[in-house]
Structure 1
Amino acid sequence: MKASSAAARSLILLAALVVGVLGVAGPAQAATYHVTGADAQGLAIQSEPHVNHVIRYVPNGTALNVSCQVNNGDQVDGRVQYGRPFRTWDRLADGTWVYDWYMDTPTVSTDGYSPGIPHCDAGSLPALASGCVDWPSSKFLQTPLTSAANGGTGSVVANPHYGTDYHVNCNTTDHMNQYYAVDLGMRAGDPVLSPGGAGTVKYAGWAPSGWESCGQYIIVDHGGGWWSVVCHLSAVYVKAGQAITNDTIIGAVGATGTSEAHLHFSLMKNASITAAGGVYGGQNARPRHLYHLGCGGGYYDWISQGMQVCY
């Protein structure tokens, strides 16, 4: 199971309702600062720079790695500086957010930023490829691996190859659009989860003629026209029409349709499927805000080449 406890699973379900964060998880130049001045409950770690998106609380004195700041988040506790609502938030190295008022970062200047801390509200995320869409912040998205991945390390290396090889097409009408598909360096036999979590299996099995490079693959319908696809499986554990949860092991990593074991996953909007089971058309979706339990928990909001991805 992806979750290690009932409490962790409850956190995933809560996160599904509050996802939607700006920027990139784990950017460079992170520096350590500390929580200070929070009340007895502690400082809220939130999934975005807005109130009511709480993941957990941490007490005063907690060291947090701050990567960058925005100056356009929500005002909290009526805080005011320079005669204006205080809206500065700090993005942490794992992609989550805290309200800067309760951090010992350098005093915020009149521009709403602490001197020496990078700005992260512009330029940190590459422009969306023409014709593609972002996976919506209102829908749950998770890393499709478990703690068993790669011999129990629970982490993998991502190889997106955006716009190259088979990772092409945003919105062609007669091909499988895979521009933002991600390859994960996993071992044969590693268990696979549905990236979009709960849904209904549309297709599971060997890809039909014309889609052979996917090998054994699974398409899951997550509602509202949003689908996820995983390819190259050595085994398939679900069948078309089956309802699955965030925790359902839908298959196992393999090398079917390719020369080396790995997991290829992609996200689609308003795609179509042939009678034989080939997915095509619609728009390819960029993975955004993937929830993970490993490596301290948090979110990945941009998957880059060579990035470590945890379960």
Structure 2
Amino acid sequence: MTESPHTAPATAPGPNGRTERRRLPATRHPAVRTLLPAVVLAVAALGLTAPARAATYQVTGADAQGLAVQSEPHAGHVLRYVPNGTALDIVCQVNNGDQVDGRTYGGKPFTTWDRLADGTWVYDWYTNTPTVGSDGYSPGIAHCGDSAGLPPLAQGCVDWPSNKFLQTPFTKEANGGAGYAWQNGSYYGEGFHVNCATTNRMNQYYAVDLGLRQGDPVLAPGGPGTVLYADWAPAGWETCGQYVVVDHGGGWWSVVCHLSTIKVVKGQHITDSTVIGTVGGTGGFEPHLHFSLVQGASLTPAGGVYGGRSARPRHLMHLGDGGGYYDTITKGQKVWY
């Protein structure tokens, strides 16, 4: 997988609750080239590894259902349950998540959560980590840094609103029916994933690359909206190949690049289940899914996206692995449809 460019030239023109969405057509799109499984691509080909871990601990004291593994340090975003005795690779902690089961410690609500190596979360009460101190952290375990365990927001960028629909933009057909992909290729601020708020370029600091196969169906990450552009990228944006820009309302757009085929047209109103195209490598790359989110951007007359502010993806809804949300996508993370 190769990192994705898509920056307009410095001289580019410029002004002075989701429904079930995975019912796909029976037709399968044949792969143009045989790819290694996504996990092999992520680990072997690019040398990506899971985030460094602090230590391994075990689940303890949970009820018969087990401990809920959640997509963020808040109740109500369960991905799966794990039984007592399960080993967990804990990277860091936050001390201001949700209180669960009315637990208190030192006369205060217990709000300590553990971030796992795959980017998911568990409530610390039900692990055998060292007893938390008065600051709400276990001695010897790193602090995640902020309330969501995310790096600071890059200057000039914005967060996609957590109350505005956002979904993983692929389907259960992904990677031969595996239903998941690995974050693969450039990450936030890497390679050509740059710019937060330039006025004459494409701002895509928080663009995401996912390892998918040629021909896999693609959805719009922002769900329902109106197609603003659906064609080959114009001069200055050629490295996007065939791309689709969707307006999701309120000045929020999504951009999907490198498509092998496009299934929508300009002006079309789409839903969260509309297949907008298929994965490809147009623009000069190995096939993969590249998408970015932006607020307040503009289009040149020819169809090039510029200006606005790159948006960090937050609260991406997914259906696979029990369903839930990803509050963000971390480097090398496994992402379900």
TM bucket normalised to smaller = 0.7 to 0.9
Question: Out of 192, 195, 204, which is 1:169 matched to?
Answer: 195
Given candidates 70, 75, 82, the residue that maps to 2:99 is: 75
Counterpart check, 1:285 vs 2:285:
no
Equivalent-residue separation in structure 2 for 1:4 and 1:96 (angstroms): 27
Is it true that 1:159 corresponds to 2:182 in the alignment?
Answer: no
Runs of 4+ in 1 over 6 A off after TM superposition: none
Given candidates 203, 211, 232, the residue that maps to 2:237 is 211
The offset of 1:219, in angstroms, is 0.8
Paired with 1:56 and 1:188, the residues of 2 have a C-alpha distance of: 28
Distance 1:177 1:139 in 2: 20
Give the distance between the partners of 1:101 and 1:4, measured in 2 at CA.
39
> Is 1:65 the counterpart of 2:92 in the alignment?
no
CA distance, structure 2, for counterparts of residue 232 and residue 241 of structure 1: 20
Shift of 1:71: 1.6
Name the aligned partner's letter for residue 205 of structure 1. D
1:247 to 273, 283, 296: 273
Q: Any conservation in 2 of the 1:201–1:239 contact (CA below 8 Å)?
A: yes
Counterpart secondary structure, 1:158: coil
Q: Is the 1:220–1:228 contact (alpha carbons within 8 Å) kept by the matching residues of 2?
A: yes
Aligned partner of 1:112 in structure 2 is 136
Moved more, 155-164 or 252-261: 155-164
User: SS of 2:239's equivalent?
Assistant: helix
Q: Structure 1: which 5+ runs fail to align? A: 6-24
TM-score after normalising by structure 2 = 0.71
Q: CA deviation at 1:274?
A: 2.7
Mark the CA change 1:279 to 1:150 in structure 2 (over 3 Å): closer, same or farther.
same
TM-score scaled to structure 1, two decimals?
A: 0.76
Deviations 1:272-294 (A, max 9, x none): 12333222110111233434444
Evaluate the alpha carbon distance shift between residue 233 and residue 50 of structure 1 in structure 2; reply closer, same or farther with a 3 A threshold. Answer: closer
**1:213-244 deviation line (CA, Å, top 9, x unaligned):** 22211111222211110011111111223232
The aligned residue for residue 253 of structure 2 is 227
* 1:120–1:157 Cα change, 3 Å: closer
Identity across the alignment (%): 62
The equivalent residue for 1:276 is: 302
Q: Which residue does 1:129 correspond to in 2? A: 154
**How many residue pairs get matched?**
289
| Separation (CA, whole Å) in 1 of partners of 2:129 and 2:190 | 41
Higher relative contact order structure (alpha carbons within 8 Å, sequence separation ≥ 6): 2
**Which structure 2 residues correspond to residues 6-155 of structure 1 after superposition, within 5 A?**
28-29=53-54, 31-36=56-61, 38=63, 45-51=69-75, 53-55=76-78, 58=81, 61=84, 63=86, 65=88, 67=90, 68-122=92-146, 125-153=150-178, 154-155=180-181
CA–CA distance in structure 2, aligned partners of residues 228 and 115 of structure 1: 42
**Paired amino acid for 1:55:** V
